[in-house]
Chain A
Amino acid sequence: MYRPAKTLFCAVNLSALVLAASMPARADGDVIKIGVIAEAQSVSGSSIPAAAQLAADEINAKGGVDGRKIEIVTYDDHSSSADAVRAFQRAANEDHVSAVIASYISEVVLALEPWSGRLKTPMITPGAASDVITANIAKDYEHNKYTFHGYLTSGSLAKLTCDAAKTLLVDGLKMKTAVIMSEDAAWTTPLDAGYADCLPTIGIKVLDHIRFSPDTTDFTPIFNRIEGQKPDVIITGISHVGVQPTVQWKSQQVPIPMLGIASQATNSTFWKETNGATDGVLYQAVSGPDVAVTEKTLPFVDAFQKKYGNFPSYAGYTAYDEVFYIAEAIHRAGSTDGEKLVTALEATDYVGTIGRVQFLPPGDAHVHGLKTGAGLISGLFLQWQDGKQINVWPTALSKGSLKFPSFVKTSASQ
């Protein structure tokens, strides 16, 4: 009597265990979880989970994906690669997310890339820029194919900057010379190389190239050195810093305009943080207030502003789109299996808030990077003018003309 009872007990236990082990996948079957790993304390990063949540709410309000609701699971990585890796492992192994939207910092995304492959969990970055991310996928497609680059690579950013500089500076202000000023970080290495390649082709001679440590606080020597070279324009590549060089540019009244990538300038709070010193600064962006890049842009900005009381950072726009095209890919794949999702994501053709999203195909040197150009994603150039971000390029979407503070001397006014 005793023995069979024990055997039965064991069998029940065992089957319970087996059941429990297979549970998570099944039990989560009615919701689709998307992990969001971001930098909650920074302005650029804090928009990422907020925008993803907004997208999930909108999808859920319309019935979800094939009847399944989307749940956003957020993790704060404190701008640290180590924290981000731990969050990724937890997202994939314990929280069983189907895909991850991760970080605007290239170093963090590069640390996550191998984990995305190992754990076979698709990951899309809404804001990192380093070309190495996509180069790694090209180098070892089988292992790294789970990573997608949902924002422009540094190489594309440099090219778009040159396109805008051609119209705004060379044709408009007859400028001929520039100094490149960028922070020393993973994303600026390909950016600077891109600048050095494309600026001469549009007729701008590069006089000097200054890379500075991202912990620089005193920019006086940098601006003085640049001024000594007498360039027509400073071409920027800054993201980790922003407020300090901008404020010191104004307080020292550096007479040279700044144009380029200045991620922090895309934030609506930048005017306040710099006490208005950003007046006249020209920066690249994928979207801007009041600029209807697509029909989805302005409704998104309105909804975000209504829900959170502030405007999304650049990574907010991309994170919002990413939730939509992940949902679409899951619908097309009919599954949340990592491998099938990768194939479905590769076929993405989605018009989002920043343009039409399509990924470069396997075989390309920047596979899983965004396709750019007219009709896809072409980017914008905006200028801070009297507390507002005014779009000045491309001409078709421009809302005003260039205007610089009085201390800035442009070739045209010299």
Chain B
Amino acid sequence: MLFWQILIDGFAISSLYALGATGFTLIFGVTGVLNLSHGSIMVAAAVAAWAVAGTFGFGAYGGAFVGIATGFVLSLATYFMIVRRLQETRSIREEEKEIFILTATLLWGIMLQEAIAYLFTNNAKTVLPIVDGVVSILGVRTPANEIFTAVICWAAIGCLWGFVNRTRAGKALLAASMNPRGVTLLGFELSNIYIAVWAVYGALAGIAGVLLGMFLGVSSYSAGPLTASAFSIVVLGGLGSVSGSLIAAYVVGYLETLTAYLVSPAYRAIPALLLLVVVMYLRPRGLMGRR
């Protein structure tokens, strides 16, 4: 019974981690940007969905749609207002740009987080779930919403896989992650690829944020921990490797669930962080890292 409980609960939370981390690693893999406003964008999407679904009465679907759109818009805003400007400016030396962009996304994330706290208070909010009720799987009473979360996460990751491997734009994106100069030599405009990847990322972060809001709930406080958890999953999996992030998401998700069930919910996050330290010692490029 406990075994099935851990298996089912761990799967749902891990799927959600996987979706959140996929977008984060995609951005790094293709554009070389570590987007530290990641958590804030997810929280903004969830809070927008909550406000639209509840306060303005547009229902669960309306809320989810607006939430995803919020993630999309904020992601593009991050690119156009912050990342791109810093990439194009001549007043910062090339080799220093990376750290400037890192700091700028961190500040942008804090601005978003404070704005959310100011407008909607820092109390936690939960998005109106699209599916309600519980179903029994192998004797484990599981909220239907939990299954829904896992299904949508995998559908989104599947769509991303299809896009990258089956479409021309997606292949260009994959190529850009391997060799940006080569892609430009083939006649692709690199900035168009960047816009595309930020757009894809925005949709993924929006979906992950809304699902997180439905499944567990979010507050403006969640922004930092969400960025940190995506970051550690991505580092564990290997920076820039999507498949590595997926594996790492499941490792972290199950490790947390096992700890919460078998040791104590208070120590939930600790073993995963210890594992991260160990991996950094033994295999600094991460589980599936290329470099």
A259-290: CB near B (< 8 Å → 1, else 0) gives 00000100101001111010000000000000
Contacting residue for A41 out of B122, B146, B217, CB 8 A: B122
B124 touches A216 (CB 8 A): no
B260 touches A243 (CB 8 A): no
A42-59: CB near B (< 8 Å → 1, else 0) gives 110010000000000000
A242 touches B268 (CB 8 A): no
A221 touches B260 (CB 8 A): yes
Q: Which residue of B lies closest to A212 (CB)?
A: B265
CB distance from B166 to the nearest CB of A (A): 34
Determine the chain A residues whose CB is within 8 A of the CB of B121 once the complex forms: 41-43, 46
Which residues B224-267 have CB closer than 8 A to chain A? 225, 256-257, 260-261, 264-266
If A213-B265, A216-B268, A252-B143 touch, whether A247 touches B260 (CB-CB below 8 Å) is: no
B265 touches A42 (CB 8 A): no
B9 at the interface (CB under 8 A from A): yes
How many inter-chain residue pairs (CB < 8 Å) link A and B? 96
A184 touches B261 (CB 8 A): no
Q: Which residue of B lies closest to A79 (CB)?
A: B122
Determine the chain A residues whose CB is within 8 A of the CB of B132 once the complex forms: 251
A241 at the interface (CB under 8 A from B): yes
CB distance from B115 to the nearest CB of A (A): 11
Contacting residue for B125 out of A41, A212, A267, A273, CB 8 A: A273
A217 to B220 Cα, complex, angstroms = 13
A210 at the interface (CB under 8 A from B): yes
A interface residues, tally (CB under 8 Å): 37
A244 touches B126 (CB 8 A): yes
A389 to B128 Cα, complex, angstroms = 21
A94 at the interface (CB under 8 A from B): no
B55 at the interface (CB under 8 A from A): yes
Determine the chain B residues whose CB is within 8 A of the CB of A217 once the complex forms: 216-217, 222
CB distance from B191 to the nearest CB of A (A): 37
Which residues B159-213 have CB closer than 8 A to chain A? none
A222 touches B265 (CB 8 A): yes
CB distance from A103 to the nearest CB of B (A): 15
A343 at the interface (CB under 8 A from B): no
A142 at the interface (CB under 8 A from B): no
Of residues A41, A216, A267, which shows the largest number of chain B Cβ atoms within 10 Å of its Cβ? A41
A211 at the interface (CB under 8 A from B): yes
Of residues B126, B133, B146, which shows the largest number of chain A Cβ atoms within 10 Å of its Cβ? B126
A251 touches B257 (CB 8 A): no
Determine the chain A residues whose CB is within 8 A of the CB of B221 once the complex forms: 215
A292-306: CB near B (< 8 Å → 1, else 0) gives 000000000000000
Determine the chain B residues whose CB is within 8 A of the CB of A41 once the complex forms: 117-118, 121-122, 220
A140 at the interface (CB under 8 A from B): no
Determine the chain A residues whose CB is within 8 A of the CB of B103 once the complex forms: none
A230 at the interface (CB under 8 A from B): no
B123 touches A43 (CB 8 A): yes
Which residues A202-228 have CB closer than 8 A to chain B? 210-213, 215-222, 224-225
B266 touches A243 (CB 8 A): no
B interface residues, tally (CB under 8 Å): 38
Contacting residue for B261 out of A43, A221, A253, A267, CB 8 A: A221
CB distance from A294 to the nearest CB of B (A): 28
Determine the chain B residues whose CB is within 8 A of the CB of A243 once the complex forms: 123-126, 217, 219
Q: Which residue of A lies closest to B142 (CB)?
A: A252
If A211-B266, A216-B268, A218-B13 touch, whether A251 touches B125 (CB-CB below 8 Å) is: no
A253 touches B126 (CB 8 A): no
Contacting residue for A221 out of B145, B146, B257, CB 8 A: B257
Contacting residue for B55 out of A212, A248, A272, CB 8 A: A272
If A213-B265, A217-B222, A253-B141 touch, whether A244 touches B217 (CB-CB below 8 Å) is: yes
Determine the chain B residues whose CB is within 8 A of the CB of A274 once the complex forms: 126
A184 touches B124 (CB 8 A): no
Determine the chain B residues whose CB is within 8 A of the CB of A269 once the complex forms: 123
A222 to B217 Cα, complex, angstroms = 16
Q: Which residue of B lies closest to A216 (CB)?
A: B265
A267 to B121 Cα, complex, angstroms = 13
CB distance from B266 to the nearest CB of A (A): 5
CB distance from A107 to the nearest CB of B (A): 15
A242 to B126 Cα, complex, angstroms = 11
B286 at the interface (CB under 8 A from A): no
Which residues A228-247 have CB closer than 8 A to chain B? 241-244, 247
A274 to B225 Cα, complex, angstroms = 21
B48-83: CB near A (< 8 Å → 1, else 0) gives 000000110000000000000000000000000000
B129 at the interface (CB under 8 A from A): yes
B217 touches A247 (CB 8 A): yes
B216 touches A42 (CB 8 A): no
If A184-B266, A251-B143, A252-B141 touch, whether A221 touches B9 (CB-CB below 8 Å) is: yes
Contacting residue for B54 out of A42, A79, A251, A275, CB 8 A: A275
Determine the chain A residues whose CB is within 8 A of the CB of B5 once the complex forms: 224
Of residues B9, B141, B221, B265, which shows the largest number of chain A Cβ atoms within 10 Å of its Cβ? B265
A244 to B216 Cα, complex, angstroms = 6
If A41-B118, A253-B134 touch, whether A264 touches B266 (CB-CB below 8 Å) is: no
Q: Which residue of A lies closest to B51 (CB)?
A: A272
Q: Which residue of B lies closest to A271 (CB)?
A: B54
CB distance from A268 to the nearest CB of B (A): 12
A215 to B260 Cα, complex, angstroms = 13
Chosen A-B contacts, 22 in total, with CB atoms closer than 8 Å, are: A41-B117, A41-B121, A42-B121, A43-B121, A212-B266, A218-B9, A221-B260, A221-B261, A224-B5, A225-B265, A243-B124, A243-B217, A243-B219, A248-B217, A251-B129, A251-B134, A267-B123, A269-B123, A272-B54, A273-B123, A273-B125, A275-B128
- Nearest first, the 8 closest Cβ-Cβ pairs linking A and B are A221-B260, A243-B124, A251-B143, A41-B117, A244-B217, A247-B126, A212-B265, A217-B216
